[in-house]
Amino acid sequence: MSGHAEPAPIRLLMIDDSDAAFLTLRAMLGPRRDGGARYAVTHTSDLAAGRADMRAGGHDCYLIDYRLRGESGLDLVRDARAAGVTWPIVMLTASNGVEREAAEAGANDFLVKGEFDRALLERTVRYAINNAEGVRRLAELNASLEATVAERTAQYAEANRQLLDQIHAREQAEAALVQAERLQALGRMTGSVAHDFNNVLTALFGSLEVLGRRLGDRPDPRLAGPLATATEAARLGERMVEGLLAFARRRPLAPRLLRLQAVIGELEPLLRLTLGAAIALRIDTDPHLPPVLVDREQLERVLLNLASNARDAAAGRPGARFALSTRDGGDGMVELSAADNGPGMDPHTLEHAFEPFFTTKTGGQGAGQGTGLGLAQVYGFAVQSGGQAAIDSRPGEGVRVRLSIPVAGERVADHQALGAA
Ligand SMILES: Nc1ncnc2c1ncn2[C@@H]1O[C@H](COP(=O)(O)OP(=O)(O)OP(=O)(O)O)[C@@H](O)[C@H]1O
Ligand SMILES: [Mg+2]
């Protein structure tokens, strides 16, 4: 052993109520001439002290009596393990046949009292120490594995959530694109039909005018009635063609530099008239919004179309209201929004509401009938003005139509500012 520091003795604590058993053990583990491991054996018959020592980890191995003064050594082991004690424990039993119980309680090994010699004792202690160390490592590994699994699971969940968000955003973008493309295709078709129909109307108006003039010379009451009816029908046709052209963005526009808030303010009396007394009008416009370059007549028509839709939808509902508001939409856009607290739209209506001739107002006559051109005009106006239109609605939650319109370019603004409304 010369030159080498001696290894520290293995510290054993015996928890046992028998002093004799302790003395035997200590004698058995006394120093040996031929070297080998050295032991420092201590003893306590005080259960509480033993328990405290196990928790603090004051020894390298614990030898615990199976039966401790009325109390069970097994319980002591169980309690210690439950409290997270991982130190090696050897159970000392009076007989064979309890090894399974001891193992289940958490002992690393056991010895039958009076049936072991020094060699078996040493082997058992060494084994218990190794076994406890293995168990401890396994538990650590298990814990770190669980932590890794939990971390990975969280990472996967996060990645999955991001993926779902992306899919959702993409689906929405695709749906919006499909909708825009559909409306565009519909616009092309509508535009050419309206154009042809316009020619028919022009011929019709020409002939009606000639007839009117001739009648003017020789008034004939039998002809005046049908002529008036025909002229009225032709006018209706003209309005429809206008609606179609507006949707198809083929209506010639006369854009002027306008402030939405000013136009809305001036139109207020007409909007109130359209809504009727039963529907409250709320106007919430931003006085500092920059001007936009739009056709005033078409803009007014948009506002009146939206108001009449709100009237049709919200009529007869207590607390019905229609709110017009404007705000800075960011990115050089101004947002105009028209919201009501009517019954809202079902998904089918929402999908088709912008299409010309799509109407759910088919019941009754006169006022109950719709042509389905109101929102088509709204949509056409927004797009032809360089902007966009969208509808937010859910059944039972009212309708909000949002138009975003580009702010007039700065040079235009400077140039025309004095003439702006
Ligand atoms: N504010 C609203 N609340 C609930 N549904 C609405 C609202 N506005 C429009 N709709 C639905 O969208 C459809 C299309 O509206 P749009 O204004 O284009 O046509 P319309 O009102 O039916 O007829 P028109 O405006 O030509 O008289 C309506 O028939 C209705 O079903
Ligand atoms: Mg309408």
Q: Read off the pLDDT of residues 272-308 as tens digits, 9 standing for 90 and up.
A: 999 999 999 999 999 999 999 999 999 999 999 999 9
CA dihedral for 23, 25, 28, 34, sign (positive or negative): negative
Q: What is the chain's length?
A: 421
> Is the CB of residue 320 less than 8 Å from the CB of residue 340?
yes
Q: Which of 305, 312, 393 to mutate to test the pocket of ligand 1 (most atoms within 8 A of CB)?
A: 312
Name which residue sits closest to atom 25 of ligand 1, judged by CA: 374
Phi and psi angles of residue 109, each rounded to the nearest 5 degrees, phi first: -165, 180
CA distances (Å), origin 309, targets 232, 271, 338, 343, 346: 24, 12, 10, 12, 15
Distance 79 CA to ligand 2 centre (A): 78
Which domains are present in the chain?
10-116 (3.40.50.2300), 254-419 (3.30.565.10)
Structure tokens at 81: 């393990």
> Is the CB of residue 234 less than 8 Å from the CB of residue 201?
yes
Instruction: Say how far apart CA 377 and CA 239 lie, in whole Å.
Output: 11
Name which residue sits closest to atom 5 of ligand 1, judged by CA: 345
The atom number, within ligand 1, closest to the CA of 376 reads: 18
- pTM of this prediction? 0.62
Distance 361 CA to ligand 2 centre (A): 9
Structure tokens at 164: 């779902």
With a 6 A CB cut-off, is 375 part of the ligand 1 pocket?
yes
Instruction: Say how far apart CA 307 and CA 117 lie, in whole Å.
Output: 103
In the chain, which residues have pLDDT < 50? Answer: 1, 366, 415, 417-421
Instruction: Say how far apart CA 94 and CA 68 lie, in whole Å.
Output: 12
Instruction: Say how far apart CA 151 and CA 159 lie, in whole Å.
Output: 12
Distance 97 CA to ligand 2 centre (A): 92
Distance 184 CA to ligand 1 centre (A): 20
Structure tokens at 373: 């051109």
Three-point CA angle 170, 175, 180, nearest 5°: 125
Distance 204 CA to ligand 1 centre (A): 30
With a 6 A CB cut-off, is 404 part of the ligand 1 pocket?
no
CA of 353, nearest ligand number: 1
Distance 272 CA to ligand 1 centre (A): 19
> Is the CB of residue 301 less than 8 Å from the CB of residue 253?
no
Instruction: Say how far apart CA 405 and CA 411 lie, in whole Å.
Output: 17
With a 6 A CB cut-off, is 76 part of the ligand 1 pocket?
no
With a 6 A CB cut-off, is 380 part of the ligand 1 pocket?
no
pLDDT at site 3: 54
With a 6 A CB cut-off, is 350 part of the ligand 1 pocket?
no
Distance 366 CA to ligand 1 centre (A): 15
Distance 387 CA to ligand 1 centre (A): 21
> Is the CB of residue 90 less than 8 Å from the CB of residue 70?
no
* CA atoms lying within 13 Å on the CB side of residue 407: 18
Distance 421 CA to ligand 1 centre (A): 30
> Is the CB of residue 259 less than 8 Å from the CB of residue 289?
yes
Where do we find the tokens 């168990």? Answer: 135
With a 6 A CB cut-off, is 361 part of the ligand 1 pocket?
yes
pLDDT at site 371: 87
Name which residue sits closest to atom 8 of ligand 1, judged by CA: 309
Residue 212 CB neighbour total at 10 angstroms:
15
CA of 373, nearest ligand number: 1
With a 6 A CB cut-off, is 313 part of the ligand 1 pocket?
yes
CA of 343, nearest ligand number: 1
Structure tokens at 171: 């689906």
Q: Which among 289, 306, 284 has a CA at the least distance from the CA of 382? A: 306
